[in-house]
Amino acid sequence: MDPALRVVMYHYVRDLPNTPFPSIKGMLTGEFIQQVRSLKERYEMATMESALAFLNGGYKPSRDLCLLTFDDGLKEHWAECTPVLAEQKIQGLFFLITGCMEDHCVAPVHMNHFLMASLDFNEYKGAFLRRLREMSPEASAAMDKVDLADAVRRYRWDTPEIAAFKSFFNFQLDANLRDRVVRRMFVEYLGDEASFSKDLYASWEEARQMRAAGMMLGGHSHQHKPLSGVSEQELDGDLKNCRRLLDAHLTPQPVWPFCYPYGKKDSYTGHAVGLLRDLEFACAFSTESGDNRPGAPLYSITRVDCKLALQ
Ligand SMILES: [Zn+2]
């Protein structure tokens, strides 16, 4: 069979037992180091440039390509992953949430992860729904109407109960209302958002160091909202802000990739793809699963979760 491009996606990569949140779902740093070695043996490690040339039909490698991608601009991508990749002369692609870096906020999806890692799930869910009910009784009643099969498909690593709550939280609930509830809980349980943000995300200076070490940076939106879930006006502002800040803080790159927040097919629209083209993002990565072959659409590149990278 002709060679394919496998794009591996990473989120949290940390020495979990020695962090304040050992139950965060992520890959251990040691596992990551092992995996990179194994991938390097099995694949030709791609760069953004060689992957694009392959997809455009201009580069024909003798074996499968593998490209490593990292979502959310987390501090450990600078501290833990970049040194490993730089040492192996592998280029990683790192997708930054520009609003989190610029305004020192924490994306609600991450607030949710850390609240869930700090509280017993039932305690968290109860506290969340109680606060939500106070603000909007109709919104809290919608929790009973979550499509469970859909939730389990989206969150295959979670129990059905947690998957249903995440689905409700990330997709069904009005984003502004949700953010108000979760922000209030976050400050109550985990303290100051700005200082947490500075620990969680790489700074602009760290991102520049990653680039200097041979890594490639990309956009992951400004606010990390599902692009299909905001008005066209808000979407336009969000993507322009993202692009402007990347240009303002980072050195020029031959190409700028983008990665969709959440990333399933229904989390972005044709309109969003048009805006990304206008803003000269060269391609965009989804979280739909699978390998890519020449001719594959450049604005819906599929990826494989790091837990399945070697399967
Ligand atoms: Zn993300």
Distance 75 CA to ligand 1 centre (A): 14
State what percent of residues in the chain have pLDDT above 90.
83
Q: Which long-range contacts (CB under 8 A, 24 or more apart) does 27-30 make?
A: 27/306, 27/307, 29/76, 29/80
Model confidence pLDDT, tens digit, residues 102-141: 999 999 989 989 998 999 888 998 999 999 999 888 888 8
The residue out of 195, 222, 251 marking a domain boundary is 195
User: Given this model, what pLDDT does residue 209 score?
Assistant: 98
Among residues 138, 162, 195, which one ends one of the domains? 195
Which residues are paired to 9 by β-bridges?
A: 69, 305
Instruction: Tell whether 84 and 130 lie within a shared domain.
Output: no
Q: How far apart are the first and last CA of the chain?
A: 17
Q: What is the mean pLDDT of residues 277-285?
A: 98
CA of 187 to the centre of ligand 1 (A): 21
Per-residue pLDDT tens digits for 12-64? 999 999 999 999 999 999 999 999 999 999 999 999 999 999 999 999 999 99
Distance 268 CA to ligand 1 centre (A): 13
235, 152: one domain: no
Judge if 83 and 113 occupy the same domain. Answer: no
pLDDT value, residue 172 = 87
269 and 149 share a domain? no
102 in a structural domain: no
Spatial neighbors of 25 by CB under 8 A, at least 6 apart, are 12, 113, 157
CA-nearest of 189, 277, 178, 193 to 229 is 178
> How many A from CA of 74 to the centre of ligand 1?
10
Q: Tokens standing for 304?
A: 């494989």
- Which chain residues have CB less than 5 Å from ligand 1, an ion? 71-72, 261
> How many H-runs (helices) and E-runs (strands) does the chain carry?
15, 8
Q: Which of 204, 227, 209 is closest to 287 using CA atoms?
A: 227
Q: What integer pLDDT is reported at residue 175 of this predicted model?
A: 81
**Total tally of structural domains belonging to the chain:** 2
Domain span at 269: 5-97+201-308
**Quick one: 208 and 258 in the same domain?**
yes
Query: Of 195, 221, 236, at which residue does a domain stop?
Result: 195
State the distance from the centre of ligand 1 to the C-alpha of 61, rounded, in angstroms: 30
Question: 6 - beta bridge partners?
Answer: 66
Model confidence over 60-73: pLDDT tens digits? 999 999 999 999 99
Average pLDDT on 290-306 reads 97
Alpha-carbon gap, residue 110 to 248, rounded angstroms: 25
In a domain, residue 266? The reply is: yes
Q: Quote the pTM value.
A: 0.91
What's the 60 CA to ligand 1 centre distance in angstroms? 31
- pLDDT value at position 1? 75
